[in-house]
A and B are shown apart, each in its own frame.
Chain A
Amino acid sequence: MKALRAALAVAAVPFGIVGYRILVHDLHSSPQNAVASVAVAWTFVAAGLVAWARRPQNRVGVLMTFVGYALLERKLQYSHDSRLFTAAFVFGEIGLGAALAHVVLAYPSGRLATRVERWFVGTAYTAAVAFPAAMLLVWDYPRSCAYDCGHAFRQHSSIPIAPNETVFHALDQVFKIGVYGVFAVVFIALIAWRLWHATPRGRRLLAPLLLAGVVAGSRAVWGSIHEISGAGTSDPFYWWQVTGQIAIPLALLAGLLSARLARGGVADLIVELGRTPSGGVRDALARALHDPTLQVAYWLPMRQSYVDEDGRAVELSEDGRAVMRLEDIAAIVHDPELDPDLVEAAGAAARLALHNARLQADVRAQLGKVQESRRRIVTAGDEQRRRIERDLHDGAQQRLVALALELRLAQRELGAVADPQIERILASAVDELQVAVEELRELARGVHPAVLTEEGLAGALESLAGRTPVPVEIVSAPDDRLPPEIEAAAYFVACEAITNAVKHSQATAIRVHANRRNGRFVIEVEDDGIGGAKENGGSGLRGLVDRVEAHGGTLRVESEPGQGTRVVGELPCAR
């Protein structure tokens, strides 16, 4: 490739000199105009080769070189040699028309992005070759004349199959006024569309397009006026065009190299990633690529879906965004105006860091699932407890009371007439049943107190306090109802803490606080006992820690010997 570029660079020099000679001798251009014309072509070749060398993956460099050569080739059509003229005339319109449109629209990625652009460029190439070819076929020497018609010399087509000046003239006019005009308008419209839809960052990058649009537009307008009125182009306009045409390749080159400069950011990125925690990969990429809107989605093969850094599922929306997929690791969703090569380079540099971040996202996603299922298990357990309580209440308890009442009535009926022995048996049966009912009631209360369902936490705490042999002061309790899982968790924390205080701490007073603090619900039980309780001491407390953590809360026990015990449960509670 290097040799090819060197050959193209060297070849452009004699090619340009030949063109200069033809312009001056055969077209009778002024030397300055001829120099300027060759300079435009050389600028394209030079800028194209530089871009090609610096960004070998990007086709803009190649296309610019091609435009340069097409412009050099264009000079040959002014030759008085009939065969050289014929060959050069067929391709003479490519340089300033189709190829220039191609490179401008392909900038900065080197590819034509939309179907409309591809269709436009294809048609432009076809028209740029088809019209001159058709004109050569109907060339009617010596009447036909394509340019410089004031001159005595007339070009001679080598392939005049059906000479016809009328058809020739019609083709010439349609091509120069109609086709050129229409293509110029569509070209300007495409540029305007791209600028309009570009992001602010993209618009800066697309500045060369604006320049090309203005140059092409003015050239088409002036060209058409010139063709219709027959007036010669003015000198200032010629120089304006030359300046514009030289500026286009330079602007394109500058644009490409600025992206190239951003590649230096990739090197910084590699250094930075060595120091960044994996959560910062996105930020590091966004900084390196100068795209603050950049997002990273991690691919989880187990789930066959993308997730964000926290393990939450995300949809890759390509709506107005470009997506760069790093196979099996991640996808970078970025500003579509970013150079894809650059994004790929940054992605490759960040590959290891992205891989680590993906593993973390995977772990977070799994952790999230485990927490979710833990919460579901506890909630299902609570639901089960509520059902058992209700079944005991409506079933066994109800039946036993009814049965006891039957026996009591039997005892009364028989009492007067029968043996006192029978009456005693019946009386003790009733007593036994009453004890059984009482035991069932306590059992049901332990499973899930009805008062918690019916009256909420405040009522349940009051009931708990009323049944505790040690004085319990409810310092604060919520007036309203909380989500059932929060009520249950807070209640069981209080219940266990109070039970422990009564059983183990020799407490003489217990205080309970239950209230909201900064979006959390806090249940706090303190006693004045001997202290020294351990968080992982009893299985009861361990179970409570599980229950509270399942709802995303925390439970801690402060129990210095001789300082009493304080159990504090905190539960997230938005309401």
Chain B
Amino acid sequence: MRAVIADDSLLLREGVARVLADAGIEVAASVGDADALRRVVATEKPDVAIVDVRMPPTQTDEGSRAAEAIRERHPEVGILMLSQVVEAHTALRLFGDRPEGFGYLLKDRVLEIDDFVEAVKRVARGGTAMDPQVVSQLVGKHRKDDPIDELSPREREVLELMAEGRSNAGICAKLFLSSKTVETHVSSIFSKLRLAQAPDDHRRVLAVLAYLRAEG
């Protein structure tokens, strides 16, 4: 598995590179701005690019614009966006209709090394990584007569982990539950939210996010 890193902080870039190297992920390139990112993605063809949302020269949204361009031209490259602040509105805009191979995490998530590496691998394999803070914003979005209110606290936790993009195995590990229990929760959630069961993890995330983003 190969990754490229784009972040204007050299210290952070090096730290992330060490984390990935320790986890057995090859860091093909590590760059400090959006133009360099586009170049190395084209030349290195990595499995995943880890991209800071704000980068020079304007420090506004260079990273996210570069990410959009890369998704357009190299759809096979997974993108994991890192940001100092995460917002549901921004997340939904960045994800668009394609949560496959896309992640959006708060920058400090790199400190939870195991979770972070797991998210990088998931995105590299075409999965999804949505920041828990975004998920709780989405789940907490108040709607009248929201079926989410019918979920048990445990089911709510499972829903949030699904929305983060985790697989059943990931959820089991996180909540220390058996895979059978998790499966029961998942099917209960889908029926309470009146959603059709999704055949795989990708489509499951899609369905959950579509449900959460729908306007009340």
B51-100 interface (Cβ within 8 A of A): 54, 59-61, 84-85, 87-90, 93
What 1/0 mask marks residues of chain B from 150 to 178 whose CB sits below 8 Å from any chain A CB? 00000000000000000000000000000
B147 nearest CB across to chain A (Å)? 15
Extra contacts, 14 of them, besides A393-B85, A462-B137 (Cβ < 8 A), are A399-B9, A402-B11, A408-B113, A409-B19, A412-B113, A434-B108, A445-B85, A450-B84, A451-B89, A453-B60, A454-B90, A463-B87, A463-B88, A466-B137
Query: Do B84 and A406 touch across chains, with their CB atoms under 8 A apart?
Result: no
Q: Counting CB contacts under 8 A, is A403 at the interface?
A: yes
A377-436 interface (Cβ within 8 A of B): 390, 393-394, 397-399, 401-406, 408-409, 412, 430, 434
B20-55 interface (Cβ within 8 A of A): 22, 54
A430 to B108, CA, bound (A): 10
A434 to B54, CA, bound (A): 20
A390 to B84, CA, bound (A): 11
Q: Counting CB contacts under 8 A, is A260 at the interface?
A: no
A213 nearest CB across to chain B (Å)? 74
B159 nearest CB across to chain A (Å)? 16
Query: Do A394 and B54 touch across chains, with their CB atoms under 8 A apart?
Result: yes
Query: Do B108 and A390 touch across chains, with their CB atoms under 8 A apart?
Result: no
Query: Do B93 and A472 touch across chains, with their CB atoms under 8 A apart?
Result: no
A437 to B86, CA, bound (A): 13
A507 nearest CB across to chain B (Å)? 13
B128 nearest CB across to chain A (Å)? 20
A473 to B11, CA, bound (A): 42
- Which residues of B have CB within 8 Å of A459? 87, 89-90
Q: Counting CB contacts under 8 A, is A81 at the interface?
A: no
Query: Do B141 and A455 touch across chains, with their CB atoms under 8 A apart?
Result: no
Query: Do B15 and A466 touch across chains, with their CB atoms under 8 A apart?
Result: no
Interface CB pairs A-B, < 8 A, 26: A390-B59, A393-B54, A393-B85, A394-B8, A394-B54, A394-B59, A398-B12, A401-B111, A402-B11, A406-B11, A408-B111, A408-B113, A430-B111, A434-B108, A434-B111, A438-B108, A450-B84, A451-B85, A451-B90, A454-B60, A455-B87, A458-B89, A462-B87, A462-B137, A463-B88, A473-B216
B128-144 interface (Cβ within 8 A of A): 136-138, 140-144
CB-CB under 8 A for A409 and B88, given A401-B107, A437-B108, A471-B142:
no
A279 nearest CB across to chain B (Å)? 48
- Which residues of A have CB within 8 Å of B107? 397-398, 401
Of chain A, the residue at the smallest CB distance from B22 is A412
Q: Counting CB contacts under 8 A, is A465 at the interface?
A: yes
Query: Do A465 and B61 touch across chains, with their CB atoms under 8 A apart?
Result: no
CB-CB under 8 A for A466 and B12, given A401-B110, A408-B111, A430-B111:
no
Query: Do A463 and B137 touch across chains, with their CB atoms under 8 A apart?
Result: yes
How many B residues are at the interface, by size bracket?
A: 20 to 34
Query: Do B85 and A466 touch across chains, with their CB atoms under 8 A apart?
Result: no
- Which residues of B have CB within 8 Å of A169? none
Q: Counting CB contacts under 8 A, is A355 at the interface?
A: no
Query: Do B15 and A406 touch across chains, with their CB atoms under 8 A apart?
Result: yes
A393 to B141, CA, bound (A): 26
A471 to B137, CA, bound (A): 12
A449 to B54, CA, bound (A): 15
What total of chain A residues lie within 8 Å of the partner, measured CB to CB?
Answer: 38
- Which residues of A have CB within 8 Å of B141? 462, 465-466
Query: Do B142 and A473 touch across chains, with their CB atoms under 8 A apart?
Result: yes
A410 nearest CB across to chain B (Å)? 10
- Which residues of B have CB within 8 Å of A437? 108
Query: Do A398 and B111 touch across chains, with their CB atoms under 8 A apart?
Result: no
- Which residues of A have CB within 8 Å of B12? 398, 401-402, 405
A215-256 interface (Cβ within 8 A of B): none
Q: Counting CB contacts under 8 A, is B203 at the interface?
A: no
Query: Do A405 and B142 touch across chains, with their CB atoms under 8 A apart?
Result: no
A428 nearest CB across to chain B (Å)? 13
Tell me how many residue pairs across A and B have CB atoms closer than 8 Å: 99
Tell which of A405, A409, A450, A463 has the most Cβ of chain B within 10 Å: A405
Of chain B, the residue at the smallest CB distance from A463 is B87
A137 nearest CB across to chain B (Å)? 95
- Which residues of B have CB within 8 Å of A401? 12, 84, 107-108, 110-111
Tell which of A394, A403, A412 has the most Cβ of chain B within 10 Å: A394
Of chain B, the residue at the smallest CB distance from A450 is B85
Q: Counting CB contacts under 8 A, is A374 at the interface?
A: no
Q: Counting CB contacts under 8 A, is A441 at the interface?
A: yes
Closest 10 A/B residue pairs (Cβ): A459-B89, A466-B137, A471-B142, A405-B15, A402-B11, A402-B12, A451-B87, A455-B89, A463-B87, A450-B85
- Which residues of B have CB within 8 Å of A434? 108, 111
Query: Do B137 and A454 touch across chains, with their CB atoms under 8 A apart?
Result: no
Q: Counting CB contacts under 8 A, is B18 at the interface?
A: yes
CB-CB under 8 A for A398 and B15, given A408-B111, A434-B108, A465-B142:
no
Query: Do A472 and B142 touch across chains, with their CB atoms under 8 A apart?
Result: yes
- Which residues of A have CB within 8 Å of B9? 398-399, 402
Of chain A, the residue at the smallest CB distance from B83 is A450
Q: Counting CB contacts under 8 A, is B120 at the interface?
A: no
Tell which of B107, B108, B136 has the most Cβ of chain A within 10 Å: B108
- Which residues of B have CB within 8 Å of A466? 88, 136-138, 140-141
- Which residues of A have CB within 8 Å of B205? none
Q: Counting CB contacts under 8 A, is B6 at the interface?
A: no
Of chain B, the residue at the smallest CB distance from A453 is B60
A459 to B134, CA, bound (A): 12
Q: Counting CB contacts under 8 A, is B119 at the interface?
A: no
Q: Counting CB contacts under 8 A, is B16 at the interface?
A: yes
Of chain B, the residue at the smallest CB distance from A510 is B142
- Which residues of A have CB within 8 Å of B108? 401, 404, 434, 437-438
A321-371 interface (Cβ within 8 A of B): none
A409 to B84, CA, bound (A): 20
- Which residues of B have CB within 8 Å of A398? 9, 12, 84, 107
- Which residues of B have CB within 8 Å of A458? 89
- Which residues of A have CB within 8 Å of B19? 405, 409
Query: Do B93 and A455 touch across chains, with their CB atoms under 8 A apart?
Result: yes
A383 nearest CB across to chain B (Å)? 14
A509 nearest CB across to chain B (Å)? 8
Query: Do A462 and B15 touch across chains, with their CB atoms under 8 A apart?
Result: no
A190 to B144, CA, bound (A): 85
A249 to B61, CA, bound (A): 85
A392 nearest CB across to chain B (Å)? 9
Q: Which of A409, A450, A454, A465 contacts B15 (CB under 8 A)? A: A409
Q: Which of B22, B54, B89 contacts A462 (CB under 8 A)? A: B89
A126 to B142, CA, bound (A): 99
A459 to B8, CA, bound (A): 26
A438 to B88, CA, bound (A): 17
Of chain A, the residue at the smallest CB distance from B16 is A405
B50 nearest CB across to chain A (Å)? 13
Of chain B, the residue at the smallest CB distance from A459 is B89
A450 to B107, CA, bound (A): 15
